[in-house]
Structure 1
Amino acid sequence: METISIIVPCFNEQETISIFFDEMNKVMNKLQNYQFEIVFIDDGSNDNTLNYMKTFHQKDNRYHYLSFSRNFGKEAAIYAGLQYVKGDYVAIMDVDLQDPPVLLVDMLQILKTENIDNVATKRCTRTGETFIRSFLSRNFYRVINKISSVQIVNGARDFRLMKRAMVDAILMMSERNRFSKGLFEWVGFKTYWIEFENVQRSGGQTKWSLKQLFFYSLEGISSFSVQPLFLSFILCGLLFLVFVVCIFYSFSLSLFFLFNALQLLCIGILGYYLSKMYIEIKHRPIYIVKERSEDHE
């Protein structure tokens, strides 16, 4: 029998994980011709999330878990899951049911009948999101698609079902500064997109603040575009020319301060890229596993 592996990153999800367990069991009952491997990744939760994972593993040996020594972030959790699973088909999905498990039935059917390598999902609406959150998300995709050679679909979710060959290709990229939506596109495998309306969380609160989303967007831009560096080079060149002109023509002091501010901006862009290089060359592990389900078997 072919195996379907499901990677489920979790951080403080005690309100949602039981609901996911029930919904996932319904899906597995519909796909009884396949073996399943459900892998929860506990990303340093400080509530009862890990205890729920242990309970599910005791009830059903198709459920497994990895528990990090601290919070390393969702990108690290996805990478850990991809390294751990052994399935012929591999899915990534959120535990809060914003990625409806029932879609896996249609996704598997499409993956097996079409000449494609993975079935990905995107939201066709953003119902329930605040205006500012929706505005920033839409414009992030516009910006990154203009300055990067990798095109990321607006509204794309991490929720997808992949063949093993695509998973192996993603694992070849072991960089520390990870932006999975870009990595999925960079590997170049054929993708079929499924649209669905935005679904509210089944419980609990989102773990993504606007501040976190902002820095995550910077991660995506710096990982897949050097255009900000090129822009800072152009700006610094122009500022130098303007400064030379200022020597001969006495411009106002406020204009001089503006030039200094722009120079500092360019230095900041360069510093951001250097900081990413600094993290990469240290070669620290992307995550550290403190405990896993196999430890208690």
Structure 2
Amino acid sequence: MDICVPRLSVVVPVFNEEDVLPLFAQRMRPVLDGLGVSYEVLTVDDGSRDATPAVLQRIRREWPQLRVVRLRRNSGHQNALTAGLHRARGQYVASIDVDLQDPPEVIAEMLELAESANLDVVHGVRADRSTDSAFKRGTAGLYYRLIRRVVGADVPHNAGDFRLLSRTAVDALTELPEHQPVYRLLVPWLGLPSGEVTYTRERRAAGSSKYPLGKMIRLALDSVTGFSAAPLRVATWLGCAGIALCVAIGAAALGAYLWGTVVPGWTSMFVALMFVGALQLLCLGLLGEYVARIFTTMQGRPRYVVAYDSAATGRPLVETGTGSTPWKL
């Protein structure tokens, strides 16, 4: 087989992970060496501000299959994953986070299942999340229930970005014009033959989480607004409920006037005005989320800018993320 086309590519988004990278290499390399297939490990440095670039270069000197792609600025986890998918060369492409909460040993099971059952997608499903905090488990459960309710039951429960894709699936994903991709929803949307491998989620090997509450909320918002118009319908129904309530309050006020029992109603009037104002702001906010997505798409800016690729032979490229030809810098 041509060495330029490995059997397996492993895409690893990285951001400020100087502490965990040596542990990741020590654990990942024996797993991949033991597969008996050609491979590359494509680490995407998402604009790290610590010693991550230096650590990656040091590991690469000892691990020739390690490939380093560095982005010029922090573009976010999903966009870093996009950069890896765009540049991965393998016939199969696995994606995994560097924190070792998803065990690298499961990649062997994924590859075996994909080859034996002729599958294009193998999801890694977290069967045991006891190592996560109660808050993390609770919010994750709420997220997946919401997504399955809004988007559809095809979304695997407790499946994140740990998965294996065939070249067919990767090519299909890279052609999608998504500007704010959420791959845990995009991949099931393709409808390709898929399977699941369950595993126990482990504790973070070192360092601290790079996915705080704010980013989780942003992911949930992107998931809902990117795959469903349900929030706009919610806004419509809330508006209808507000109108019905205002009609009821108006009828009650008219009845009190006709019966001559008018009393000072500052409190009820204040509450009604606040309620209507809150509904209006909520509806405007939901509408603004969709308008913002349209605005971002119309700008046509690339989702990420590649500063360096250890496997590149020429000048770096900037993928637009729209399925078009990359721009030369």
- Asked if these proteins are the same fold (TM beyond 0.5), I'd say yes
Tell me how far apart the structure 2 counterparts of residues 162 and 156 of structure 1 sit (CA, whole Å): 14
* Match in the other structure for 2:99: 96
The aligned counterpart of 1:280 is 297
Contact 2:93 2:166 in 1 (8 A): yes
Deviation at 1:115, TM superposition (A): 3.3
Q: CA deviation at 1:59?
A: 2.6
Give 3-state SS (helix, strand or coil) of 1:219's partner.
Answer: helix
**50-59 or 112-121, which deviates more:** 50-59
Which runs of structure 2 are paired with 1:228-239 in the superposition (5 Å)? 228-239=231-242
Q: What is the TM-score of this pair, normalised by structure 1?
A: 0.94
Distance 1:276 1:124 in 2: 34
Question: Distance in 2 between the 1:96 and 1:193 partners?
Answer: 21
User: What is the rounded CA distance, in whole Å, between the counterparts of 1:29 and 1:260 in structure 2?
Assistant: 62
Give RMSD over aligned pairs: 1.8
**Is it true that 1:116 corresponds to 2:116 in the alignment?**
no
- Give 1:149 deviation, angstroms: 3.5
Output the TM-score relative to the length of structure 2: 0.85
The answer to whether the 8 Å contact 1:150/1:185 transfers is no
Count the aligned residue pairs: 296
1:97-156 per-position Cα deviation (integer Å, ceiling 9, x unaligned)? 112111122221111111321211111122122222211110111111112236322211
Partner of 2:17: 13
Q: Percent identity?
A: 29
- Aligned 8 A contact 2:12 2:41 in 1: yes
What do the CA deviations read for 1:198-226 (whole angstroms, capped 9, x no partner)? 10111111111112211211111111111
Relative to structure 1, is the Cα distance of residues 150 and 219 closer, same or farther in structure 2, using a 3 angstrom cutoff? farther
Deviates more, 1:231-240 or 1:18-27: 231-240
2:276 aligned with 1:259, yes or no? yes
Shift of 1:52: 1.7
Of the two, which has the highest radius of gyration?
A: 2
Q: Which runs of 4+ in 1 moved over 4 A?
A: none
**Cα deviations by residue, 1:137-194 (Å, 9 ceiling, x for unpaired):** 1011111111223632221121111111011111111321111100111111121111
Alignment-derived partner of residue 136 in structure 2: 133
One-letter amino acid of the counterpart of residue 273, structure 1: Y
Of residues 142, 147, 151, the one that matches 2:145 is: 142
Structure 2 residue 185 is matched with structure 1 residue 182: yes
How has the CA–CA distance of structure 1 residues 8 and 117 changed in structure 2, closer, same or farther, with 3 Å as cutoff?
same
1:61 CA drift (Å)? 2.8
Q: Structure 1 stretch 258-267 or stretch 196-205: which is displaced more?
A: 258-267
Task: Give ranges in structure 1 of 5+ residues lacking alignment.
Answer: none
Task: Report the alpha carbon displacement of residue 295 of structure 1 after superposing the two structures with TM.
Answer: 6.0
Displacement of 1:235: 1.8
The whole-number CA distance in structure 2 between the counterparts of 1:100 and 1:130 is 18
